[in-house]
Structure 1
Amino acid sequence: MYWIIALIIYVLIAIGMVISLLVNGIKPAKTLAWLLTIFTIPIGGILLYWMIGRNRKKYSWKDIQEDIAINNYLKKIQENKDAAETVEMEAEEYSKITHLVEKNNGFKPTKNNEVKLLKDGKATFDAIFKALESADKYIYLLYYIFEEGELADRLIALFDEKVKKGVKVKIIYDGVGSYSLSKRYITQLKSIGVEVYPFLPFKLGRFLASINYRNHRKIIIVDGKIAFTGGINISDKYLKGDLVLGKWHDMHIQLRGASVLELQVVFEIDWFLVSGDNSELNRDLPSLEEKVGNQIVQIVYGGPDDYFSPIGQTYFAMINNAKKYIYITNPYIIPGTAILRSLEVAANSGVDVRLLVSANADSTLVNWSVRSYFETFLRAGVKIYLFPKGFLHSKIIVSDDNLVSIGTANMDIRSFEQNYEVNALVYDQKTALLLKQDFLNEIDQSIPLDYETFMNRPYLEKIKEGFAKIFSPLL
């Protein structure tokens, strides 16, 4: 008797989820994948959908963000002549992308910025600690992974010194990405006067509703004058490597100029979400230094509560906009239909499309899923290179010697629709040429894939890739 009641309840729940998918499902492939999951994995399929399949836009914080943070704060920036160093991009090759980002985020390109490329952990943390040591007003940090170790110990010692001198220190860490961060360390941060909050931490009442939505951003702001973002987390593995993958390679950037204020807006939105404190949104803006550089930068950010995918659309626009070449470095290229087709069209149209992917991976299932698209890419003429030395974690796009994207977002559905991400677009020939040369140097050390050879890979590999590809819309 009881099992019949349980079965009826289960069927009703499953039917309810199916109706929800049919009504709210936007992408047929993803909808079909969830329908198969629900009906082929009893109970587990429903739990998986509840955890990672529901449409975040139906449980949106977007109104709070726009009304309290974006609209008011951006209006304040635009009214402040000292801080509003925006520029209208008149060149047709740029205008569509800049207008797209502005419509999605409200951020215009800013001029007179200084962009410094920071390759790998040592260069990045040398620059970060130098900037932190110069702070005299405030330090803001937001990280997906914040791990204890030598870097964390150096940070807490520096924070202790700075707080005693009146510097305000605020930290946001992701509740899942930084799961190993101990209560002892967090208590120590609070004891020295650091304000620290987790982003969507593990809580029994909302575990299933929030587990899939992570803050993957990496941001540091120092006094509103210097900012950092990119792929590097607070982890000793960026200096020492790890036993499994070896050395971690990544790209970060240091920004000075008006673009720092755009990154600061992103941090302050997230701070309001985790703390409920909107005082930072109401204070006066920091005054900008005199012209610090000649580079144009535009910040683009996105999350699961966006009705469009700002970063996904930006990647799509960059690929479609490329005339001569587009070089992409990313460890997780699991494209949706739009990105897949845009890369195919670009390559078939004569654009030099090259992908640089790590030969080593930190997830077996994700690695199979990434490789499941190689055959399609190679058939279209996309050139693929596997970087064999350690783990390549950079998220970089460089195109036509004039446009660069560097940030936290991978080229996958998760980064487009489920994670909170942030990238910097740099409209600058010097930066593009530096990254282009770096890309060419990296592929010289990498393994090029050939279509005919790849087609002859072991049949078992094809089965693994096919299995992973079925679930790629869910990864």
Structure 2
Amino acid sequence: MGERKIFISILKLIVFAFWLVFQFIAITLISNMLNVFFIYYFALFEIISFIAVVHLNYKYKNTSYKVSWIALILLIPIIGAIIYIIARLGTNRNFTKINKISSGKKILVEENQNMLDSLKKKNRIRYNETRLIKNICGYPSYENTNITYFPNGESMYKKLLEDLNGAKKFIFLEFFIISKGEMWEEILKILKEKSKNGVEVRILVDYIGSLFVLPKDFRKSLKENNIKFKIFNPIKLILNLMLNYRDHRKLVIIDNSIGFTGGMNIGDEYINSYPKYGYWKDMSVRLEGDAVFSFTTMFLRMWQSITKEKEDFQKYKLPSKIKNTKGIVVPYSSGPEQVDSTAEYVYMDIINSAKDYIYIATPYLIIDYELILALSLASKRGVDVKIITPFIPDKRVIQMLTRSHYDKLLDSGIEIYEYTPGFIHGKVLISDYECAVVGTINMDYRSLFLHFECATYMYDVPAIKNIHDDFLKTLSVSKKVEKDVWEKRSFSKKVIESILRLFAPLA
């Protein structure tokens, strides 16, 4: 009996020993297999990431944009590279389509050579700025155009309704956001009546901008009233939702004789019927005269890119009665289809040539190294640089990103103010009492490089004085950011701002 127990015990030990050996061998084999597979997978992922970085470096000129994508790819190598590839795949189709149709390089209007020669003799710097716009995006310079500046949404809206009521031939509307409410209902009422009376009405709206705010009966109401409408760039891949290029323009064109642009979308907050963030300050301009044809062209090109149906541009080139106005007006577009960013280059050229002052109002101040350098150098050579941003934000994270750029600007002697009555949404740049830009272009990466935008460049037009005076009035109700106080903010805020700034171009 004792020998049997000893035998069983020895047998158990042998079985246990074999089991240990088996486990060791199995673990070793599995580990080796995993190591081999890991090497292959790691190599594959490295290749994908490398290709993404090489493509990124080749495709984009902007250093800050490259750095942000590369940081994302390094932080999460697989996911970061895949996100970048998806973003590119999702936009290549749009690039191909819009490059062919929406390019501004085709000359639809011959410029007045006498006007250009006169401008060249009078002010070579401003002449060069008009040539910059013409050479990048193709849009010409005009005389015979009156400009009216609106310092808020209420005044612009009142005039807009009046002009819509006076339409005889066509009305084109292009907006990032059309939101249900009082403003839209009043506009729609006029559009229905005009369409009924034979006026051609078209509406173009961005998919993302209006996704959650578009009136429920929008399509039905327009269709029933013979109003044509198109949605710009509807999303088909959910993974591409935040990375697609959007139509951020705000345009109203009436009979090719009147055009509006500026920061305003269609929504009650823009006319302060619905005080969402305190008083909403938006700035716009109304063009009347020859220059409106560039807005007409922008709209038709974008419409054509969606429908793929050829438009007769000359059909909508109705003659203007405005003559002998003062100054030069250049409406222009900017977008990701352009090799060079008209939006950033125009701003930089004005900043680099400024002698007396540069005044900027913008809801977002998320800019690259090149713009920071241009503003800083202007300040250091004695130019008075003042920037107004919102004190009350519409997006808290975006305000943190905006404020993360204050340090370098304040260090260069630039004065920064925050608008205290509410949210300032206008996009205005004015310089040296003679030059101004008003449009849809924010001082951020999306507006400067990724979105389709529009603006009006003005030289020596009477409205520039109104823009200048309104800026100073806005400054008087804004709080100055003091450098010594700003530097005392908490260490944690500084760290968060630094991290956010690294990924700012992707915001």
Provide TM-score, normalisation by structure 2. 0.85
Aligned residue runs from structure 1 range 224-243, under 5 A: 224-240=256-272, 242=274
Q: Which residue does 2:67 correspond to in 1?
A: 32
Q: Which residue does 2:146 correspond to in 1?
A: 114
Q: Which residue does 2:100 correspond to in 1?
A: 64
Q: Which residue does 1:144 correspond to in 2?
A: 176
Task: Give the Å deviation of 1:160.
Answer: 1.4
Q: Which residue does 1:196 correspond to in 2?
A: 229
- Check the 8 A contact 2:249/2:454 in 1, yes or no: yes
CA distance in 2, matches of 1:373, 1:311: 19
Question: Gaps (5+ residues) in structure 2?
Answer: 1-32
Shift in CA distance, 219/28, structure 1 to aligned 2, threshold 3 Å = closer
Q: Which residue does 2:458 correspond to in 1?
A: 426
Task: Give the Å deviation of 1:303.
Answer: 0.4
Task: Give the Å deviation of 1:443.
Answer: 1.2
CA distance in 2, matches of 1:24, 1:55: 15
Shift in CA distance, 385/289, structure 1 to aligned 2, threshold 3 Å = same
Q: Which residue does 1:78 correspond to in 2?
A: 110
Q: Which residue does 1:386 correspond to in 2?
A: 418
Shift in CA distance, 56/320, structure 1 to aligned 2, threshold 3 Å = farther
Give the letter aligned to residue 276 of structure 1: K
Q: Deviations over 1:135-159 (max 9, x none)?
A: 1110000001111111222222212
Pairing partner for 2:312 from 268, 280, 284: 280
Name whichever of 50-59 and 431-440 sits farther off: 50-59
CA distance in 2, matches of 1:48, 1:292: 54
CA distance in 2, matches of 1:106, 1:18: 32
SS at match of 1:391: strand
CA distance in 1, matches of 2:359, 2:324: 29
CA distance in 2, matches of 1:55, 1:27: 20
- Check the 8 A contact 1:114/1:293 in 2, yes or no: yes
Q: Which residue does 1:184 correspond to in 2?
A: 217
- Check the 8 A contact 1:241/1:248 in 2, yes or no: no
Q: Which residue does 1:400 correspond to in 2?
A: 432
Question: Gaps (5+ residues) in structure 1?
Answer: none
Pairing partner for 1:252 from 277, 281, 284: 284
CA distance in 1, matches of 2:254, 2:115: 21
Shift in CA distance, 207/276, structure 1 to aligned 2, threshold 3 Å = farther
SS at match of 1:215: coil
Q: Which residue does 1:316 correspond to in 2?
A: 348
Shift in CA distance, 70/158, structure 1 to aligned 2, threshold 3 Å = farther
SS at match of 1:347: helix
SS at match of 1:254: strand
Shift in CA distance, 131/292, structure 1 to aligned 2, threshold 3 Å = farther
CA distance in 2, matches of 1:244, 1:137: 36
After superposition, the CA RMSD in angstroms is 2.7
Task: Give the Å deviation of 1:322.
Answer: 0.7
Task: Give the Å deviation of 1:294.
Answer: 2.7
Give the letter aligned to residue 380 of structure 2: N
CA distance in 1, matches of 2:153, 2:345: 29
CA distance in 1, matches of 2:316, 2:67: 50
Counterpart check, 1:464 vs 2:500: no
Shift in CA distance, 46/241, structure 1 to aligned 2, threshold 3 Å = farther
SS at match of 1:234: coil
Task: Give the Å deviation of 1:300.
Answer: 1.9
Give the letter aligned to residue 193 of structure 1: N
Name whichever of 206-215 and 322-331 sits farther off: 206-215
Aligned residue runs from structure 1 range 313-392, under 5 A: 313-392=345-424
Give the letter aligned to residue 296 of structure 1: I
SS at match of 1:111: coil
SS at match of 2:148: strand
Shift in CA distance, 22/308, structure 1 to aligned 2, threshold 3 Å = closer
Shift in CA distance, 57/325, structure 1 to aligned 2, threshold 3 Å = farther
CA radius of gyration, larger in: 2
SS at match of 2:110: helix
Task: Tell me how many residue pairs correspond in the alignment.
Answer: 467
Shift in CA distance, 260/327, structure 1 to aligned 2, threshold 3 Å = same
CA distance in 1, matches of 2:136, 2:494: 39
Name whichever of 5-14 and 274-283 sits farther off: 5-14
Q: Which residue does 1:215 correspond to in 2?
A: 247
Give the letter aligned to residue 334 of structure 1: I
Provide TM-score, normalisation by structure 1. 0.91
Shift in CA distance, 280/210, structure 1 to aligned 2, threshold 3 Å = farther
- Check the 8 A contact 1:406/1:423 in 2, yes or no: yes
Pairing partner for 1:269 from 301, 305, 318: 301
CA distance in 2, matches of 1:217, 1:254: 15
Task: Give the Å deviation of 1:278.
Answer: 2.0
Q: Which residue does 1:302 correspond to in 2?
A: 334
Q: Deviations over 1:417-475 (max 9, x none)?
A: 10001110111253222221211111111111121111112222212211211111222
Shift in CA distance, 29/56, structure 1 to aligned 2, threshold 3 Å = same
CA distance in 1, matches of 2:220, 2:253: 23
